[in-house]
Chains A and B, each alone.
Chain A
Amino acid sequence: MAGLLAPGDLVLALETSCDDTCAAVVSGAGEIRANVISSQEIHDAYGGVVPEVASRRHLDLVNVVVDDALRRAGAGLGDVALVAATQGPGLVGALLVGLASAKGLAAARELPFAPVDHLQGHVAASFLGPDALEPPFVCLVASGGHTFLARVDDHASFTVLGATLDDAAGEAFDKGARLLGLPYPGGPHLERLARDGDRSAFAFPIAARVQGLDFSFSGVKTALLYAIRDLGPEDAAARAADLAASYQHAIVEALAQRVERALAQTGLDRLAIGGGVAANGPLRERLAGVAARVAVPPRELCTDNAAMIASAARWVPPQPFPSYLGLDVYPTGARDL
Chain B
Amino acid sequence: MRVLALDTATPDTVVGLLSGDGPVAERRHVPTPGERPGHVEELLGLAQALLAEAGLSWPDVDRIGVGIGPGTFTGLRIGVASARALAQAAGAELVPVSTLEALSAGAGLADRAVLACLDARRGEAFVAAWLGGARLLAPAAVPPGELGALAGGLRTDPGGPRPLAAGDGAIRFREQLEPAGFEVPADGSPLHRVRADALCRLALAATPVAREALVPEYVRAPDAVPKRSGTAPGTAS
Contact = CB atoms under 8 A, between A and B. Distances in A.
Tell whether A and B belong to one assembly: yes
A93 B85 contact: no
State the majority secondary structure of interface residues on B: helix
A327 B40 CA distance: 7
Interface in B213-229: 215-216, 218, 222-227, 229
Interface residues of B, number: 44
B89 A322 contact: no
Closest 3 CB pairs between A and B?
A181-B232, A104-B85, A237-B233
State the majority secondary structure of interface residues on A: helix
A83 B80 CA distance: 19
B90 interface: yes
A59 B216 contact: yes
A73 interface: no
Interface string A168-191: 000000000010111100000100
B88 A105 contact: yes
B229 A183 contact: yes
Contacts of B223: 52
B74 interface: yes
B138 interface: no
Interface of B: 40-45, 48, 57-59, 73-74, 77-78, 80-86, 88-90, 211-212, 215-216, 218, 222-227, 229-237
A229 to B, nearest CB: 14
Contact of B77 (A46, A97, A236): A97
Contact of A107 (B44, B78, B218, B235): B44
A77 interface: yes
B224 A322 contact: no
Interface of A: 44-47, 50, 52-53, 55-56, 59-60, 62-64, 66-67, 77, 92-93, 96-97, 99-110, 178, 180-183, 189, 192-193, 236-238, 240-241, 244, 322, 325-329
B81 A59 contact: yes
A74 B205 CA distance: 37
Nearest to B48: A322
A93 to B, nearest CB: 5
A240 B82 contact: no
B37 to A, nearest CB: 11
20 contacts: A44-B229, A52-B224, A53-B224, A55-B77, A56-B222, A59-B215, A62-B84, A63-B211, A67-B88, A96-B40, A100-B82, A107-B58, A178-B230, A181-B234, A182-B232, A182-B234, A189-B237, A322-B44, A326-B41, A328-B40
Nearest to B73: A52
Contacts of B233: 180-181, 236-238, 240
B58 A108 contact: yes
Contacts of B83: 104
Nearest to B234: A240
